[in-house]
Amino acid sequence: MVVEIHVPLLPTPNLPDGACSFPWIEEVEDFLAGLEDQGDAEVFDDAEEYGDAYVFFVTGAGEGHLLAVASRVATLPGVPTGTFAVVSDDEAEQFGLGRRVTLPLPAS
């Protein structure tokens, strides 16, 4: 199982001249690397641009846990609203072919 985290590729407003337009990409990568170091989830593949989104991939745990990770990503500071997850697997021929889940998840 792989959970794709689709983040709208929207630049962060009001950044200083010369700053990266998408500083949240590094924030998400650092967050996911930290989870991987703790053994909470695995980064499945390098994140990449796909259409109008930047897609991150996590695996290594059950669906509920991976969706909770995706929900945490959606609430990181600076991450654009409209982030969603797709529950898929490593055999999928392209992104976005699984079940779509709106993020963040409702509090339980």
Summarised one tens digit per residue, pLDDT across range 8-56 is 998 777 777 777 778 889 999 999 999 999 988 999 989 999 999 999 9
Question: Which pLDDT score is estimated for 99?
Answer: 95
Model-level pTM greater than 0.85?
Answer: yes
Helix axes 23-38, 63-74, angle to 10 degrees: 150
> How many CB atoms sit inside 10 A of residue 54's CB?
22
Summarised one tens digit per residue, pLDDT across range 50-107 is 999 999 999 999 999 999 999 999 999 989 999 999 999 888 778 888 999 999 999 7
* Contact in structure between 2 and 92 (CB atoms under 8 Å): yes
Class of domain 2-102: alpha beta
SS3 assignment, position 43: strand
Q: Any idea where the domains of the chain sit in the sequence?
A: 2-102
> Which residue has tokens 């630049």?
11
Structure tokens at 90: 């490593």
